[in-house]
Chains A and B, each alone.
Chain A
Amino acid sequence: MTTPQYQTLPDGRFIDVNGVQTWVTEKGAGTPVLFIYGGSFGGGEAASGAFAWVPPFEAFGEDHRVIAFDKPGQGWSSKPPRPEDYTMEFVVNHVIGLIEALDLGEPVHLVGHSRGGYIACRTTLLRPDLVRSVTLVNSGTLSPGIGTNEVVLANCPFPASPKSIHWNYGNYFHDFDGVSEEFIAESWAVLQSENYQAALAEIREHGLMAGQFLPQLARDKRETLQWLADGRLQRPTQIVWGRDDRTALLYRGLELFDLLRSTNPETRFSVVDKCGHFPYLEHAEWFIETVGRFIQEVDHEWA
């Protein structure tokens, strides 16, 4: 089988992690930076993937070992092996398995967006030995408060197509038309792929999102917020937020910040204006500078 590739990222390879054929790409040398994107399996009208990270992947690749990968049942990676594995817990354990399989030799900087922010945080809580710093980007999944993504994205008016992808991501963006054609093309390629459709079919057959993934995530989130309140997150942490995100409102980022900084002295918060859910795409230069400086400072302290 030939390895599928993105047009906008360096060619990747497959490695087996916890029974998932996992697509991974790497670039550069230096302290490792692992990117974890948002979304989850089961999206019928848009599909995220490692391609989301192109601007910071390229920029941090200049002086770091940057790693982007696809989560189980997303992007080019194969679906979770069993129906009962369609849970956030499985996805988190898959990241832990991936970090171990890559044998990085030193702790990693995690950069997690949205659902991936929750994964980055949960990974750090479970395995602090693997993690050097955590960057959490517009993560409503992790934050306290009221999620409004189900309002903004309810009932996409288009069937699965480049148009439905534009509608989905356009609503995440501050500028509806700011979603690039390359981004839409990458997402459309994933959405049409056999792997992605196989996961989607399995999810629909068993009602795995409403019946399993979401209730188990709610259970794990309660525990996660309790752990954060207890002060278990003790790695340098930066929260980054697009101010105009209608799916993860700014006040939620502030509540997360308050929760973390009450017990972790190394917690930062940076917000950028005229920006929706994807600051690393809508304000790439700012994001690269802000997160790059944070990672650099952490590296300096650890050196």
Chain B
Amino acid sequence: MSGRDLSATTGGGEVVVLLHGGSAGQSPWSDTGNTWADTAARLEGAGYTVVAPDRPGHGASPATAIDDLSFEHECSVVAEAIAAAGGRAHVVGHAEAGITALLLAQRDRQKKLGIEVLSATVVGGYGAEPTADGPERVILSDPPVEAWSAASQRWAVRRLTHAGDTAGERYDDARAGESSRAAAALLEERGNSARVAGFLLRAKSSIFAWARDRGYDVPISLTWGMEDPLSETPRAVEFMKVLASTTAHLELNLVDCAGHFVHRERADEFERLLLGFLARSSAQ
């Protein structure tokens, strides 16, 4: 799998896959596996083995075809990484990648991909939660030019962050900006933005139908920033209702003084919640 690997893969403990958020070529900031630097260090300190790749279309994993941006493709790529790390893992997904985490948590998909998912954690909204016929969000509609420049990314992240610059993002990753521009160029090709919109609808439908008709059976944690301008907490509550058909543990944690980047804005609180959940969801 291309992408940076923040892990000391010799840690020996259970594997935790950390998937950053964002939609390649659409989100006006360029997210990469680096967003998890603090989380990864904390998890490794606790004995976990961490894999934090750049998702397809992002950072060191640029998209070369529009299908690279499908959730199906992302699931295959992440499953390969899990297989390479021993075959079973906890999956943590921020925002859009929460969709990937919940797709991989479907038992049939795990069988097909030859992996075992121990737990799924969704960090922050703008992913799989129900949003049908919601009004357009305009907060990020007009990023300053040049798109994905350091200044433009800083503008975007500030807007999603509860208290200004508390997300502590670095914006000097030229390669990440290039990948965003490459994905945006793909999206401009005729019919491609509609295809990517279709990928999202189909992935969400898969999660909803699975929860409705089969029910999840791996522990799931939802951790939401109470001030996330992309997804208000009632959406998290509604999402929990959808997932409540599960036969396994399900929890929702609302973190105060946090916007879209809960894991960076309230790193200590987030890590405490995640470590507790992972320990309770351990295979042992």
Is chain B found bound to chain A in the same assembly? yes
A265 contact set on B, CB distance < 8 A: none
The DSSP consensus for interface residues of chain A is helix
B130, A214: Cβ atoms closer than 8 Å = no
Cβ of B206 within 8 Å of any chain A Cβ, yes or no, is yes
Residue tally, chain B, CB below 8 Å to A = 29
A146, B234: Cβ atoms closer than 8 Å = yes
Cβ of B242 within 8 Å of any chain A Cβ, yes or no, is yes
B136 contact set on A, CB distance < 8 A: 215, 218-219, 221-222
A157 contact set on B, CB distance < 8 A: 213
A155, B205: Cβ atoms closer than 8 Å = yes
Q: Which of A148, A208, A222 contacts B135 (CB 8 A)?
A: A222
A225, B209: Cβ atoms closer than 8 Å = no
**A205 CA to B72 CA in the complex, in Å?**
21
**A208 CA to B200 CA in the complex, in Å?**
14
Cβ of A126 within 8 Å of any chain B Cβ, yes or no, is no
Q: A253-265 interface mask toward B, CB cutoff 8 Å, 1 = contact, 0 = none?
A: 0000000000000
A218, B198: Cβ atoms closer than 8 Å = no
Cβ of A301 within 8 Å of any chain B Cβ, yes or no, is no
Cβ of B238 within 8 Å of any chain A Cβ, yes or no, is yes
Cβ of B189 within 8 Å of any chain A Cβ, yes or no, is no
B130, A207: Cβ atoms closer than 8 Å = no
A210, B135: Cβ atoms closer than 8 Å = no
A210, B133: Cβ atoms closer than 8 Å = no
A150, B194: Cβ atoms closer than 8 Å = no
A148, B130: Cβ atoms closer than 8 Å = yes
A150, B135: Cβ atoms closer than 8 Å = no
Q: Give the one of B211, B212, B213 with max A CB within 10 A.
A: B212
Q: Which of A140, A155, A210, A211 contacts B132 (CB 8 A)?
A: A140
Q: A133-148 interface mask toward B, CB cutoff 8 Å, 1 = contact, 0 = none?
A: 0000000110011111
Cβ of B76 within 8 Å of any chain A Cβ, yes or no, is no
Report if A212-B212 is in contact (Cβ < 8 Å); known contacts: A140-B133, A146-B238, A147-B134: no
A211, B193: Cβ atoms closer than 8 Å = yes
**A215 CA to B238 CA in the complex, in Å?**
22
A1 contact set on B, CB distance < 8 A: none
Using a CB-CB cutoff of 8 Å, which residues 206-232 of chain A contact chain B? 206-212, 214-215, 217-219, 221-222, 225
Residue positions of A touching B, CB distance < 8 A: 140-141, 144-152, 154-155, 157, 206-212, 214-215, 217-219, 221-222, 225
Please list 20 pairs of residues, one from A and one from B, whose beta carbons are closer than 8 Å in the complex, sorted by A's number.
A140-B133, A146-B129, A146-B131, A146-B235, A147-B134, A150-B205, A151-B212, A154-B204, A154-B205, A154-B209, A154-B212, A155-B209, A207-B194, A207-B195, A208-B194, A210-B194, A211-B194, A211-B198, A214-B197, A219-B136
Q: A148-B130, A211-B197 are in contact. List 20 more A-B contacts (CB 8 A).
A: A146-B132, A146-B235, A147-B131, A147-B132, A148-B242, A149-B132, A149-B133, A150-B130, A154-B204, A154-B209, A157-B213, A208-B194, A210-B201, A211-B193, A217-B133, A218-B135, A218-B136, A221-B135, A222-B138, A225-B135
